Amino acid sequence: MANCITRHIPNTLTCCNLISGCMATGSAFYGNYEWAVIMIVIGAVFDFFDGMSARLLHVSSPIGKELDSLADVVTFGVAPSAMLFHLFTQVVYPEVLKPVQHLVPYTAFLMAAFSALRLAKFNMDERQTSSFIGLPTPANALFWSSLILGNLGFLISEKFNAVFLFLFMLLFCFLLVAEIPLFALKFKNLKWQDNKIKFIFILGCLPAFIFLGFSSFAVIILWYLFLSIVARRWS
Task: Quick: pLDDT tens for 7-62.
Answer: 778 888 899 999 999 999 999 999 999 999 999 999 999 988 877 777 777 777 77
Residues 55 and 138 in one domain: yes
The enclosing domain of 166 has a CATH number of 1.20.120.1760
Choose between 189 and 215: higher pLDDT.
Answer: 215
The answer to whether residue 106 scores a pLDDT higher than 50 is yes
**What is the structure's pLDDT at 128?**
64
Neighbours of 125 (CB within 10 A): 12
For 118-162, the pLDDT digits (tens) are 998 887 767 766 678 889 999 999 999 999 999 999 999 999 999
When divided into structural domains, the chain yields a total of 2
Relative to beta strand 131-133, strand 181-183 is antiparallel
Residues 77 and 190 in one domain: no
**What is the structure's pLDDT at 5?**
67
How many CA atoms, within 13 angstroms, populate the side-chain half-sphere of residue 200? 14
**What is the structure's pLDDT at 100?**
94
Residues 186 and 154 in one domain: no
- Alpha-carbon distance of 71 to 45, in angstroms, equals 12
Residues 109 and 207 in one domain: no
> Burial, 26: exposed, middle or buried (Cβ in 10 Å; 0-12, 13-18, 19+)?
middle
Residues 146 and 221 in one domain: no
pTM of the model: 0.88
Residues 62 and 111 in one domain: yes
Q: Domain residues for 100?
A: 2-125+133-179
**What is the structure's pLDDT at 34?**
94
For 152-200, the pLDDT digits (tens) are 999 999 999 999 999 999 999 999 999 888 888 776 777 777 778 888 8
For 65-99, the pLDDT digits (tens) are 888 889 999 999 999 999 999 999 999 999 999 99
The total number of residues shown for the chain amounts to 235
Query: Who contacts 106 (Cβ-Cβ below 8 Å, separation ≥6)?
Result: 85
- Alpha-carbon distance of 204 to 116, in angstroms, equals 30
Residues 114 and 203 in one domain: no
Residues 189 and 156 in one domain: no
Residues 146 and 45 in one domain: yes
Residues 173 and 186 in one domain: no
Residues 58 and 9 in one domain: yes
